[in-house]
Amino acid sequence: MKIKKGDKVQVISGAYKGTVAEVTRVLPKENKVVVEGVNIIKKHMKPTQQDPDGKIIEREAPIHVSNVMAYDSKAKTASRIGYKIEDGKKVRVYKKTGNIVK
């Protein structure tokens, strides 16, 4: 998986298409990512001793990694990610512009 936590991504399909936000969590075994402010769900919490009324919370649910694309802030465009050896280190680069990720 080429998308990592902290990367800026653009959602390329679904109800949140076009949204640019940051990845907060990566789930590589499921090929999913959690993106800030995207795929908001309501979760019903059971009453507990600390919170006897219970509550409904809103949180982000994971979306499939194929529905997001890395976003290059300098070029203001979404791009795929490739790898390149630079100064003896392997770095991630945007394929469209050649800029180094982060």
Q: Where are the beta strands (DSSP E) in 49-88?
A: 55-60, 63-64, 68-72, 77-79, 81-86
Q: What percent of the chain has pLDDT over 90?
A: 99
For residue 101, pLDDT over 90 is answered with yes
Find out whether 6 and 21 touch, Cβ atoms under 8 Å. Answer: no
Over residues 52-95, the pLDDT tens digits come to 999 999 999 999 999 999 999 999 999 999 999 999 999 999 99
In sequence order, which residues have a C-beta less than 8 Å from that of residue 3 and are 6 or more positions away?
A: 9, 23, 26, 33, 65, 68, 70, 81
pTM metric for this prediction: 0.86
Q: Which amino acid is at 49?
A: Q
Distance, in Å, from the CA atom of 28 to the CA atom of 3, rounded to the nearest integer, reads 10
What pLDDT digit, counting tens, does each position of 15-46 carry?
A: 999 999 999 999 999 999 999 999 999 999 99
Q: Which domains are seen in the chain, by residue range? A: 8-73 (2.30.30.30)
